[in-house]
Amino acid sequence: MPEPVHPALPSVADVVRDTITRFASAGIPDPQVDAELLVAHVLATSRGGVQAAAVRGDRFPDDARTALAPLVDRRCAREPLQHLTGLAPFRSMELAVGPGVFVPRPETEMVAQLAIDALGASASDAPIAVDLGTGSGAIALAMATEVPRARVYAAENSVDAFIWTKENVARIGAANLTLAFVDLADAFPELDGTVSVVASNPPYVPDDAIPRDPEVRLYDPPAALYGGPDGLDAVRVLSHVGLRLAHPGGMIVIEHGEWQGAAIREILTADGWRAAATHPDLTTRDRATTAIRP
């Protein structure tokens, strides 16, 4: 009896193209990027590896097709790509993320850079930095790995997020980072008056504002998004905690919505901070405010 004839496996290029089409129809903002990254995930390669495989005309294995199909369905339902792959890139790191923790965004890399620059400019041999509401640990781990002489302390008060923070601290292995599960208002009293940089990406969405993107609205934890009637409740707490922690000349760095810079400068200035300034991200949107402790 002749052997059954199996249809030829599809090419990687065809699978990527079909996935792009589905993602575009689902309204995903960057369908090609997400398609290539998701295909890379099931092939255990990089996005560049997928692009090279497509150029070579490589075929897409059956087991990879089986793994990819449900992930494409979930992404079309607007589940975050990072939840599907389990990883989120942040600066030079890949952080483990999933349900219960805020997925770090590219704009937060600029916030981390402001903190890293201030920490690196410290005259101390071992400057101290604090990340309040660290979530995945993105800002704290960036400071700890990029300024290795610093001592970095990270606080989180969400049980669900803290699980991911601990995993990322273990993954990255920053020996100069201390992690604590603690209410942010009470964080690290032993550091009062000694901290060079206080950084935070707090919840800042007003309670009655509904995020446009389903990935944010449906999957990011509400505690990491909503910050009271004007979105600035957490900022008010951060201002007071920062004044307690920072030494004279120490800096606070706060991420926020593009429309909130003026209000945050007013809060910080009224509390006694000096030289409050708002900084644009790479898209020229105001996304971070800094100030100096007198």
Question: pLDDT digits over 221-251, tens only?
Answer: 988 989 999 999 999 999 999 999 999 999 9
Q: Rounded distance, CA 294 to CA 282, Å? A: 29
Q: Rounded distance, CA 206 to CA 188, Å? A: 28
pLDDT at residue 3 tops 50: no
- The dotted CATH code for 88-292 is 3.40.50.150
Query: Of all helices (H) and strands (E), which one includes residue 254?
Result: strand 246-255
The pLDDT score that the predictor gives to residue 7 is 58
The residues spanned by each domain of the chain are: 12-77, 88-292
The pLDDT score that the predictor gives to residue 6 is 46
Q: Rounded distance, CA 283 to CA 227, Å? A: 24
Rounded to an integer, the average pLDDT of 7-25 is 93
Residue 223: C-alpha distances to residues 58, 107, 173, 255 (Å): 45, 19, 27, 16
- pLDDT tens per residue, range 75-96: 999 999 999 999 999 999 999 9
What percentage of the chain has pLDDT greater than the value 90?
87
What is the DSSP code (8-state) at residue 123? S
Q: Rounded distance, CA 82 to CA 79, Å? A: 8
The pLDDT score that the predictor gives to residue 1 is 45
Q: Could you write out the DSSP letters of every residue in 90-103?
A: ETTEEEE--TTSPP
The pLDDT score that the predictor gives to residue 282 is 83
The pLDDT score that the predictor gives to residue 283 is 86
pTM here is 0.91
